Structure 1
Amino acid sequence: MNKPYDLEERTFLFAKECRFYVQKLHKTTSNIEDSKQLVRSSGSIGANYIEANEKLGDKDLVFRLKIARKEAKESIYWIRLLHELNPEHKETSESLLYEVEELRKILSAIITRINSNI
């Protein structure tokens, strides 16, 4: 699948796919609680990226991008946990892990580039 170049759209699609994923999971206590955390962190990646684009300066931009990257790392944690406990959805969780790792790398590259220009 071709990924959109627009990072706002790409983060939106990732958050949407996370929501589709958690809808498929069995409604156990741990799945429900872990899914809530994933829904929150996956949506926060894009929300913080959008805020970064409305920057008040380079330092604010880097700060918001670092929060988005932190939320990507947190999403990795929750997906890994759900992945281990729901092997019947392995293909979906692996796809989500791949995408969120790509988003994390993109955000890290942007942060590095901006920091080298400040």
Structure 2
Amino acid sequence: MFRFAVDCGNLCMQFPISRQYNAYCNQLIRCSSSIGANYRAACRGKSDRDFINKLKIVEEEADESIYFLEILKEISETHHSEINRLHGEANELLSITVASINTVRKRINSK
């Protein structure tokens, strides 16, 4: 998650400074770095329900990262291979997060 955030930041540094790129890159930097920060908070959750609530934020931020990567791919003519790689990584993070949420929910419901 840390590496994903750093790689998204490095990708954004490759785009020209413009109103359009800055808006999307700023959003991508925020949501990609929020994934790891909120995961760390989830690991310190006080209960299963608290853990799930914090992981739901991770899920939202991963999905937002995917969205902004898709926008950057659409508007740029370069860096498509790196965008595709990061898009795949974000999808993996999203899948892992959803699976974790479902696992904990099943545990809660079986009590």
Q: TM-score range by the shorter chain?
A: over 0.9
Q: Distance in 2 between matches of 1:88 and 1:37?
A: 19
1:58 aligns with 2:58: no
Give the counterpart of 2:38 among 39, 45, 48.
48
TM-score by length of 2: 0.95
Q: Distance in 1 between matches of 2:82 and 2:69?
A: 10
Q: Distance in 2 between matches of 1:85 and 1:104?
A: 24
Structure 1 or 2, whichever has the larger Rg, is 2
Structure 1 position 82, deviation (Å): 0.6
Describe how 1:4-83 pairs up with structure 2 within 5 A: 11-83=1-73
Structure 1 position 55, deviation (Å): 0.6
Give the counterpart of 2:87 among 63, 75, 97.
97
1:102 maps to a residue whose letter is E
Structure 1 position 27, deviation (Å): 1.3
Partner of 1:76: helix, strand, or coil?
Answer: helix
Number of aligned residues: 108
TM-score by length of 1: 0.90
Q: Which residue of 2 aligns with 1:8?
A: none
1:56 maps to a residue whose letter is K
Identical pairs, percent: 34
Unaligned 5+ runs, structure 1? 1-10
Structure 1 position 28, deviation (Å): 1.8
1:39 maps to a residue whose letter is I
2:22 maps to a residue whose letter is I
Deviant stretches of 4+, over 3 Å: none
CA RMSD of aligned residues (A): 0.6
Q: Which residue of 2 aligns with 1:108?
A: 98
